[in-house]
Amino acid sequence: MASKFIFVTGGVTSSLGKGIISASLAKLLQARGFSVTIQKFDPYINIDPGTLNPYEHGECFVTDDGAETDLDLGHYERFLNTATSQANNVTTGKIYHHVITQERQGAYLGKTVQVVPHITDEIKRRMLLLGQSGEFDVVITEIGGCVGDIESLPFIESVRQLRWELPPNDSLVIHLTLLPYLKAAGELKTKPTQHSVKALSEAGVQPDILVCRSEYAIPMEMRKKIALFCNVQINSVIESLDAETIYDVPLLMKKEKLDERVIKKLKLTGGTTDPDLDAWKEFLGRLKNPTEEVTIGLVGKYVELPDAYKSIIEAFIHAGAQNECKVKLKTYQSEHLDRETVTSQLKDLDGILVAPGFGQRGFDGKIETIRFARENNIPFFGICLGMQCAAIEFARNVLNIKDATSTEMEPESKNPVIDMMEDQKQITQMGGTMRLGAYVCELKKGSKAFAAYGKHKITERHRHRYEFNNKYLKAFEDNGMVASGINPETGLVEVIELQNHPWFVAAQYHPELKSTVQNPHPLFVKFVRAAIQYAKSKKNIA
């Protein structure tokens, strides 16, 4: 069977949740036995989000094959429990880069290179790519931005062309829109949705299904009105209410029969009559009925924007549910923490996570945070820069190397406990040049990391330039900081942990990127468990 294609567009405003709706629909189809993948087409001209400040675009999600991608790919993986790749995220920058490279190589035989057909042909080629692998029954393509944006026009035009070129019933368009509630009038308004569909229609694309985001239930009369003015069937007007958690959305979409409408319109055959969501409901049951509660401090430099640490926040939700524990996350701007304030700020926490990041800002606050966690036996988890800070703090305060630092912060450092890899030193370009993607790590038996994973060999995703300097490894291990995870090919340290501490583990890689609803990440699960035990011990003392 050839793949079927679903295109998800958005209107009225951004941040309506196209990624969550796409992932929820994919989950429902997957739960019926179909193989599904999702891809994101972003209209910005950056080649990828790797060089974007997290305040601009939220976190940068990294795939196994080393692609720096949009954070929506994180939702896809968490919902579907299947890995995405380079092919699942395409930007305008990638499209133009490819077309211009082709032109320079003479591939267009002297023709004038234009948006139509050259840019749109390349967009269409990429839209169809995953469908041609023979792996998937359905390919869902989410188009970033809003209908009517100049940047989105070539993507909408490509969808228009594909609708003509693909066989009937092989594609459909879902348009996500907003029904704002006007307090003064006391009612929902359909006009923005009508205008949004009109703009999409003017670009030559008629949506098959409308998903309407709303804070209030949509009355049947209003559904009829939307159907009439927007040229869709009444049962294709889908209500999407604000949910308690994003993990409720697949069940809400099932209730609205979104998957049934899609299956009917695409004439999909071979799936089960009802989606098997038992495991999903079980997860939601644990998530909503916790028996424990812990407060964990997330210390980072981008805490004002929760999306900057999206995967970490979601990994705590998965690990919390696994432990039947409500994880309350308190965020701390590392810039505002120092030796004077750290005790008063962090003393009531049950666990502390120092987050990844780049650059000098907030670096000293992270060092002080780790010292506090180490000296007070509070469960600690460090990720990427958090692991590097843990090494520097240990070198300064335990090994007494007062000028220990990272060459990222001080290029001329005499004691670079964290140093740039040799093969990185010649690189001048910023984008896509770090150690990226999945690498093997071997864990030491008897370590906390080994106990968490329950196996010797693991693979985890990386995104960094700087590494632990092995010149200092013996001194570290002699003083109780063990390298419990090593890359077998390079000998690089991947995990460090403190021996005489209830739970002090730091990883050079990004474990949060592999946590899913179905497979919560073992390090997060064990960290939350350690926090529960610490919270109980505090109560016993009190």
Would you name the residues annotated as active-site residues? 384, 510, 512
3-state secondary structure of 165: helix
Which of 396, 372, 368 is closest to 476 using CA atoms?
396
The answer on whether 188 is annotated among ligand-binding residues is no
For the chain, how many residues are written? 542
- Alpha-carbon gap, residue 176 to 185, rounded angstroms: 24
Is the backbone of residue 327 left (phi > 0), alpha (psi -120 to 50) or beta?
A: beta
To the question of whether residue 55 is assigned a binding role by annotation, the answer is yes
User: Any known ligand binding at 461?
Assistant: no
133 is in an annotated binding site: no
225 in a known ligand binding site: yes
Q: Identify the CA nearest to 351 among candidates 525, 540, 528.
A: 528
Sign of the C-alpha dihedral, residues 245, 246, 251, 252? positive
49 is in an annotated binding site: no
50 is in an annotated binding site: no
103 is in an annotated binding site: no
d(CA 69, CA 89): 6
Q: Is 191 annotated as a binding residue?
A: yes
Which tokens sit at 267?
Answer: 């004439």
243 annotated to bind ligand: yes
- Whether 124 has a binding-site annotation, put simply, is no
Given a contact cutoff of 8 angstroms between Cβ atoms, the answer to whether 162 and 124 are in contact is: yes
**275 a known binding residue?**
no
Count Cα atoms within 13 angstroms, Cβ side, for 207.
33
Distance CA 342, CA 370 (A): 10
| Residue 193 annotated in ligand binding | yes
Nearest of 9, 1, 41, 135 to residue 80 by alpha carbon: 135
55, 303 Cβ separation under 8 angstroms: no
**292-300 and 351-354 as β-strands: parallel, antiparallel, unpaired?**
parallel
Distance CA(297)–CA(312), nearest Å, equals 12
190 appears as a binding residue in the annotation: yes
What is the biggest distance separating any 2 CA atoms in the chain, rounded to whole angstroms?
A: 80
Q: Flag whether 18 is marked binding.
A: yes
Task: Please state, as a whole number, how many other Cβ atoms lie within 10 Å of the Cβ of residue 74.
Answer: 27
Is 126 marked as binding a ligand? no
Place of tokens 């390298």: 483
- Is 271 annotated as ligand-binding? no
| Annotated binding-site residue? 244 | no
Write out the binding residues for CTP: 14, 149-151, 189-194, 225
Write out the binding residues for UTP: 14, 189-194, 225
Write out the binding residues for L-glutamine: 55, 357, 385-388, 408, 465
Write out the binding residues: 14-20, 55, 72, 142, 149-151, 189-194, 225, 243, 357, 385-388, 408, 465
Write out the binding residues for Mg(2+): 72, 142
